[in-house]
């Protein structure tokens, strides 16, 4: 696929993750499922990310991702901070 994940270790089983993609919805879904599976196998329990595209929430629902949304108080734009539990 054409999806890239970049993550920063935060310690204690947590990481901040970001995604860049040129894939269609089906390719993104597959990439997200594979990435989350690999992160869980590696021992991570939680990923933190920000979501700019609200369609990602539908994709998370399709992939059965356990996540929680909270608005980031320090950001003035409409991004949502998301915690993904693995």
pLDDT in tens, 5-51: 999 999 999 999 999 999 999 999 999 999 999 999 999 999 999 99
CB 13 within 8 A of CB 44: yes
CB 7 within 8 A of CB 44: no
Beta-carbon-side half-sphere exposure of residue 17 (alpha carbons within 13 Å): 22
Rounded to an integer, the average pLDDT of 46-71 is 92
Residue 70: the pLDDT is: 82
**At residue 72, does pLDDT exceed 70?**
no
Residue 52: the pLDDT is: 87
Residue 73: the pLDDT is: 52
Q: Quick check: pTM over 0.75?
A: yes
């Amino acid at each position: 696929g054409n999806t890239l994940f970049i993550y920063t270790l935060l310690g204690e089983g947590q990481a901040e993750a970001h995604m860049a993609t040129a894939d269609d919805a089906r390719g993104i879904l597959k990439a997200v499922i594979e990435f989350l599976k690999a992160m869980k196998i590696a021992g991570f329990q939680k990923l933190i990310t920000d979501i700019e595209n609200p369609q990602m929430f539908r994709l998370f629902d399709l992939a059965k991702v356990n996540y929680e949304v909270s608005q980031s108080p320090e950001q003035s734009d409409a991004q949502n901070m998301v915690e993904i539990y693995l």
